[in-house]
Amino acid sequence: MQPESADYVIAGGGSAGCVLANRLSENPENTVVLLEAGPGADGFMNRMPSGGMIKLGKPETDWCLTTEPDPSLNGRQQFWSAGRMLGGGSSVNGMIYIRGDRKDYDSWASELGCTGWSWNEVFPFFLKSEGFTGQPSQTHGTTGPLGVSEPRMKHPFAQVFVDACGEFGLRKVEDYCAGDVDGAFTMLCTQANGQRSSAARAFLDAAMKRPNLTVLTEATVDKVLIENGRATGVRYIKDGENRTVQCLGEVIVSSGTLNSPGVLMRSGLGPAAHLQDMGVEVVRDIAEIGKNLQEHASFHSVFQVDQPTWNNLFKPHLLAREFLKYLTVKRGLMTIIPVEAMAYLRSRPDLDFPDVKLSFGLMAHNAKTQKPHELPGVVVYANVAKPKSRGEIRLRSTDPIDKPVIDHRLLGHADDIASMISGAKKVQEIFTMPTFAKHVVGPLAPDPMPQSDEEWEQAIRNSAGIGYHPVATCRMGGDEASVVDPRLKVRGVEGLRVIDASVMPVMPAANTNAPSIMIGEKGAEMILEDAST
């Protein structure tokens, strides 16, 4: 059934959108419509943890976006994945659970005018979502719908990596979920009982049984309808037809960092000159919509080790055994996560906060074949923790099926490439520490091994990719130039908010799924608060 109207219309069913649909429909008096361009997230493969990652690169479940040629990557174009199904990125990601550092959110509040978004103010919303199954702790929630747990299949080398980081001089972080990531630690993941806990599974499974919530899949959002300065509905495409749902309360754009700007621009909100070039009538000139794009640049180093790692299990008879193990006891290779430990380090000793983030995994790929390496290997991905490089999103056309223009400089800032060079060299040092050195057979990538900073820079510019963490294209702020105010309301338009990773003003030093879910929780509470006043 296609509803004609609702109190709340949510444009996008990703991590934040699923949370919003759940929380706004908890009150049976609120009618809610959630529009998602991709398919649903039910079925066996969406529950098996590794099944979600298989959906990357598939046009039916991944937006499969491509950047413009990037001069900072020696002119290379990048393939940018984005989840295109209920749950968004949480249905296809590596299931890493990390919130970021206290300083990330405190700086939003104290330096960027994002009142109400300090660590102490967002922390309760992390807890609200969480259904943690580890040892009881004041830093974890146990009654929320989002499964958070230790990975069911862990390799001993993850702890060896943390110990080697200690020998290198990094702190061992006892509880990285307490707002402290300055050091090394092993990871938690978004799984429950051996199954992927995507935002769709966690927040929609039960909620979709409510009569006041309508979830429409295969429904591509075109634009927000705005009359006399107020959002009045959403136009979308389903089954090849243009359809409209009227909004009696608020429209919430939750289409993600890469797609929310396009929804707003097609609605007449954005940089006026660009909208006019596209033939869009300007409703409000908001210059920063689509600007401020940030993403984690990622450079990998691979080492051959003396014990089997997960890539050695990718043989037909072993895969069959691991699949059977999953079917019977929900354990084994099908439950692994791509990053089992992390470390944060400083490229220079004078820095107040680490500028390099390291992600350690047991799944090494052969760069030539793009398949699991035949040799036992471990991989470390080095990211600039809080990148200074920026890009932007623009419309390619006014057709909502057309993919946006992604014009980014992934390593466009001199400080970012300097951090990456230093970080990549320090990775090599960490693997000479006694705890890990006894297991290292030799380096596999980069190949050949750079011998100077100039060679490191070229190796990084020639092969660095994305971290799958785009943010900030509809930034929140206390200043009038920001796209949304601290209550996530689009400036100058009544009844319209943006609630997803695009509102983050600055990249947190973390993967972005848990922060996106937190933004959904906090955004839903603000909507309900404002409706009751």
For the chain, domains (ranges, CATH) are 152-186+297-384+412-463 (3.30.410.40)
Q: For 378-427, write each residue's pLDDT tens digit.
A: 999 999 999 999 999 999 999 999 999 999 999 999 999 999 999 999 99
Yes or no: say if 392 and 473 are a contact pair by the CB < 8 Å rule: yes
Please state the rounded mean pLDDT for residues 515-526: 98
Identify each DSSP E strand in 387-451 by its residue range: 391-394, 405-408, 440-445
Q: Tell me, what's the pLDDT at 236?
A: 98
Whether the predicted pLDDT of 154 surpasses 80 = yes
Please state the rounded mean pLDDT for residues 316-326: 94
Please state the rounded mean pLDDT for residues 153-163: 97
Q: For 474-497, write each residue's pLDDT tens digit.
A: 999 999 999 999 999 999 999 999
CB atoms within 10 A of CB 464: 28
Q: Tell me, what's the pLDDT at 3?
A: 84
Q: Tell me, what's the pLDDT at 246?
A: 98
Q: What is the pTM assigned to this prediction?
A: 0.97
Percent of the chain exceeding pLDDT 90 equals 96
- Average pLDDT score over the chain: 96
Element (H, E) at 247: strand 241-253
155, 373, 439, 469: the catalytic one is 469
Amino acid in the structure at residue 260 = S
Q: Tell me, what's the pLDDT at 370?
A: 81
Q: In sequence order, what are the residues at sequence separation of 6 or more whose Cβ sits closer than 8 angstroms to the Cβ of residue 374?
A: 311, 366
Whether the predicted pLDDT of 1 surpasses 70 = no
How would you class 220 by CB atoms within 10 Å of its CB: exposed for 0-12, middle for 13-18, buried for 19 or more? middle
Q: Tell me, what's the pLDDT at 395?
A: 98
Q: For 47-93, write each residue's pLDDT tens digit.
A: 999 988 889 999 999 999 999 999 999 999 999 999 999 999 999 99
Is 469 tagged catalytic? yes
Q: For 223-281, write each residue's pLDDT tens digit.
A: 999 999 999 999 999 999 999 999 999 999 999 999 999 999 999 999 999 999 999 99
Quick check: helix, strand or coil at residue 129? helix
Residues in the chain: 533
Q: Tell me, what's the pLDDT at 533?
A: 82
Whether the predicted pLDDT of 367 surpasses 90 = no
Query: What value does the CA radius of gyration of the chain take, rounded to a whole number of Å?
Result: 22
